[in-house]
Structure 1
Amino acid sequence: MSEKASDDTQQGTYVEDEFTRDTAYIEDRITDGGEQWPVEAGRYRLVVARACPWANRAIIVRRLLGLEDAISMGICGPTHDANSWTFDLDPGEVDPVLGIPRLKDAYEKRFPGYPKGITVPAIVDVPSGGVVTNNFPQITLDLSTQWTRFHRDGAPDLYPEELRAEIDEVNERVYTEVNNGVYRCGFAGTQAAYDAAYERLFTALDWLEERLADQRYLVGDTITEADVRLFTTLARFDAVYHGHFKCNRSKLSEMPVLWAYARDLFTTPGFGDTTDFAQIKSHYYEVHRDINPTGVVPLGPDLTNWAEPHGREALGGRPFGDGTPPGPPPEGERVDPANNPLVGADGLVRV
């Protein structure tokens, strides 16, 4: 997620006549055997914000694959000005590894005068302090396919070769119509643009309801990259998209198949235990001042319904295939239980 460049004291502007996401990212890749950016444990730092759905994908994949010891993680706070995400959660408001207060510093280190929005997730080369890539769709695929030497024992195959064509096809529709579709609704600047965006979004959600009615996961019988990409939007739906973005034909909790599917993933290690509802609400309601001028953050909705039984086990499937669930997240990376009432002191979701 990015913000449009402006001065350091103002929030960005988001509403457009018809919202179009800028997808020109830094396309460098970290690859096994690569010359400029080779896979190397301890060299890179993944910078994220728990509030951001695009960054949340990378957090989930890194955790599912057990890459915590190979790639460190810096966590920005949930709000930012129009200029940069900041490390205001860290002591002294400085990232302890990169030694910078603002993610923009890593972008500027490599690209002086960087002209575009400062986005998360971003991977930073620790020795040089410069950003390597912010290409969020490719980051998670590369974590699955290029970092296999550092995957934990029992790590799932999130991008199995025999299913890649179908995963890519599903991902494309989910991205354009759902992941980006909620933003198209929320940032629409005209009634006509909003009406069209609303219809597109709920047409896609109805398609997903039908697709998932008799299969536990989006592609195949295990969790894949496709489920990760859909989950981060569903996790934010009732908390922010339904009201803040006017995606209000129905709540997620009123779409029975998707609601059960989302709860199934939420209670799977790696998903709900990386979800910080307080930071999610703080970001959207405080940063998008052209939509919510007061910056007031709503107290609801009640989140305890995420723990209700989902019954999806009856559809079969094996969440991790021949692998195993990840263990508890490292202590320094656990979601604050105050921000997600279903997370215990060990960082895991209580089922």
Structure 2
Amino acid sequence: MSKQWADSKDGAFKRQVSAFKEIISPEHPVYKPAAGRYWLYVSLACPWAHRTLITRVLKGLTSVIGVSVVHWHLDEKGWRLAPAAEAAASIDKKEFYTPSGGITTSSNDASGPVGNISNDSSRLNIDSTFDPINGFNRLSELYYKSEPNYNARFTVPVLWDTETNTIVNNESASIIRTFDSGVFDEFIPTAERDQILKLVPKSLEAEIDEFNAWVYDNVNNGVYKAGFAENPSVYEKEVTNVFAHLDKIEKILKDKYEDLTEEFSGDTEKILSHFFTIGDQLTEADVRLYTTIIRFDPVYVQHFKCNFTTIRDGYPKIHLWLRNLYWNYPAFRETTNFEHIKLHYTRSHTRINPLSITPLGPKPDIRPL
């Protein structure tokens, strides 16, 4: 179930379609908004799960929706949680809501993973957290509890309903739209509601959707199509396509930066406060692109052979955009864990990296702004 690519006669990567796609709304017959009712299961390594973590923080939902983090190592049985079922029975699950933001686990050493960290390591709240809702040790248990005959991969993220004990949604794009929809706003402290940013404002929705569509196919998923290709010609086609679209993004951001420089007479602080992919505010488009670009230099360059150049050396405006989000917006920095990212890819994909040796570079993981 942990296989990363579908069977394909041409050696091309085929991504699995998500199985659970319910929404949460006051009109839904079952899944209605409530504080403390829904729980998010994520991997800090996975870019799709990372989207939901960032959005959860940006939308002020850290005290409304709790989080459990799976272990960075994906083995033959799929994702696993910390083996702490006995503790789960006694812990106050509110401890896992982390109202101050971010995530419940943090091991963000800028030097990257060092030493002989075992794939079976169980550093609680560093490698993974446990499941205080069900006491499960495996993500697969959530899937089988929801659908006993489930027969596909056990993917993250998972949005779980604690009342019906079932998966509501396991599609990241749908989950972040639900978070942004406003259905949980009433549970956010009144003083904070006016500060919550709408990530998909109506005036920009069509432009965001168009941007997301080609970025997803050619960049977000494009690095996987290159990295998991099992045919040289497929790889060469896909990696060339990835960089063609990075060139396109670089041009968009370069033009945006030049316009802002003129508008704000070179005031760097004002420029960066408006320096985003779509419009002049932070949007869902930035969130979805960020989770791929932050992994590009540490992982995709070497592990997925996306090595025409690095972001830091070949794309100055993407690099500036990336560092601006990471250093100036805590929701991005607090949910980015380079140790999980590096260890997961290099030690879980043994077909790509049989010796499971984790490169220590690049150094630093991300450069200062």
Which one of 87, 96, 116 corresponds to residue 132 of structure 2? Answer: 96
Matched-pair contact (CA < 8 Å) for 2:42–2:157: yes
Q: How does 1:98-113 map to 2 (within 5 A)?
A: 98-113=134-149
**Partner SS state of residue 235, structure 1:** helix
Q: Deviations over 1:263-297 (max 9, x none)?
A: 01111220022100000011100111100001111
- TM-score, with normalisation over the residues of structure 1? 0.81
Which one of 311, 318, 340 corresponds to residue 258 of structure 1? Answer: 318
Residue 183 of structure 1 corresponds to 224
Q: Deviations over 1:43-99 (max 9, x none)?
A: 110111111000000000000111011111111111122333111286767412221
Residue 209 of structure 1 corresponds to 250
In the comparison of the two structures, how many residue pairs are matched? 299
Which one of 147, 155, 179 corresponds to residue 184 of structure 2? Answer: 147
Matched-pair contact (CA < 8 Å) for 2:252–2:277: yes
From the superposition, tell whether residues 51 and 89 of structure 1 become closer, same or farther in structure 2 (CA, over 3 Å): farther
From the superposition, tell whether residues 279 and 200 of structure 1 become closer, same or farther in structure 2 (CA, over 3 Å): same
Q: 1 or 2 for the larger relative contact order (CA 8 Å, sep ≥6)? A: 2
List runs of 5+ in structure 1 lacking aligned partners.
Answer: 6-10, 310-351
- TM-score, with normalisation over the residues of structure 2? 0.78
Q: Larger radius of gyration, structure 1 or 2?
A: 2
Task: Quote how far apart the aligned CAs of 1:129 are.
Answer: 2.8
Matched-pair contact (CA < 8 Å) for 1:125–1:132: yes
Are 2:234 and 1:193 equivalent residues in the alignment?
A: yes
Aligned sequence identity (%): 36
Q: In 2, Cα distance between the equivalents of 1:35 and 1:252? A: 46
Matched-pair contact (CA < 8 Å) for 1:31–1:39: yes
Are 2:149 and 1:158 equivalent residues in the alignment?
A: no
Task: Give the partner amino acid of 1:150.
Answer: F
From the superposition, tell whether residues 132 and 183 of structure 1 become closer, same or farther in structure 2 (CA, over 3 Å): same
Q: How does 1:1-351 map to 2 (within 5 A)?
A: 5=1, 12=3, 14=5, 17-88=11-82, 94-145=130-181, 146-151=183-188, 152-153=192-193, 154-215=195-256, 216-254=275-313, 255-267=315-327, 268-303=329-364, 305-307=366-368, 309=369
Q: Deviations over 1:17-49 (max 9, x none)?
A: 011112243111122331111111111101111
List runs of 5+ in structure 2 lacking aligned partners.
Answer: 87-128, 257-274
Q: In 1, Cα distance between the equivalents of 2:85 and 2:282? A: 36
Matched-pair contact (CA < 8 Å) for 2:68–2:130: no
Task: Give the partner amino acid of 2:293.
Answer: L
Q: Deviations over 1:304-323 (max 9, x none)?
A: 6522x3xxxxxxxxxxxxxx
Q: In 2, Cα distance between the equivalents of 1:96 and 1:24? A: 25
From the superposition, tell whether residues 81 and 118 of structure 1 become closer, same or farther in structure 2 (CA, over 3 Å): same
Pairwise CA RMSD: 1.7
